[in-house]
Amino acid sequence: MSQLSNYTYDEINIGQTASYSKEISEQDIQLFAIVSGDNNPVHLDAEFAAGTPFKERIAHGMLSGAVISAAIALELPGPGTIYLGQTMRFRRPVKIGDTLTVELEVTDKRDDKQFVTLDCKVINQNGEVVVTGTAEVIAPPVKLVLDPPHLPTISLQD
């Protein structure tokens, strides 16, 4: 796995962009249900979901939030960022197998507190906007280049 690195406050410019993509799998939805506790059948039961306005299973809205937060933590500013706040508008449902791409753009910097504001847009593989929002962070004061920790392997059993 590739190393993690960041942009320090001084290396960040207004207009700077970054992106991060993730495919949303059935397992992701199951894991998000377990992590959050939200076991609503619209996310987990295809037969139930067929009778809803969405017609098929959809991902939890906040799973897109999780992917936005990963974009900030991994790409811009990256490791060492302190997350202050996030707004989100959920504009379209996310389905199993969709590939989400988070597009980040720096829109403001505040030198006295090292605050950075980022515009956040999540688009799917069809170019449709699924989430929009704004993040506020404290950018890292020092450069970091890190080897990512080992993550355990998961197995799910019905």
> Closest Cα partner for 89 from 67, 70, 62?
62
| 15 or 76: CB nearest its own copies | 76
For residue 98, give both structure tokens. Answer: 């969709």
Instruction: Give me the least distance between CB of 15 and its own copies, in Å please.
Output: 24
Q: Which is nearer to its own copies, 35 or 50 (CB)?
A: 35
CB contact at 8 A, 152 and 100 = no
The closest of 89, 100, 104 to 126, measured between CA atoms, is: 100
To its own copies, the closest distance from the beta carbon of 65 in angstroms equals: 5
Site for its own copies contains 35 (CB under 8 A): yes
Dist CA 135 CA 146 (whole Å): 24
| Minimum CB–partner distance for residue 141 and its own copies (Å) | 10
CA 146 from chain centre, in angstroms, equals 20
Which of 40, 55, 128, 145 touches its own copies by CB under 8 A?
40
Using CB under 8 A as the binding rule, the residues of this chain from 43 to 82 that contact its own copies are 44-45, 48, 60-63, 65-70, 73-74, 79
Select the residue interacting with its own copies from 10, 11, 17, 36 (CB under 8 A).
Answer: 36
Please, which residue, 16 or 144, has the CB nearer to its own copies? 144
Distance of alpha carbon 85 from alpha carbon 90, whole angstroms: 16
What CA–CA distance (Å, rounded) separates 94 from 26? 12
CA distance 143 to 6: 6
Q: Does residue 33 bind its own copies (CB under 8 A)?
A: yes
| Interacting residue ranges for its own copies, rule: CB under 8 A | 1, 4, 20, 22, 28, 30-42, 44-45, 48, 60-63, 65-70, 73-74, 79, 83-90, 146, 148-158
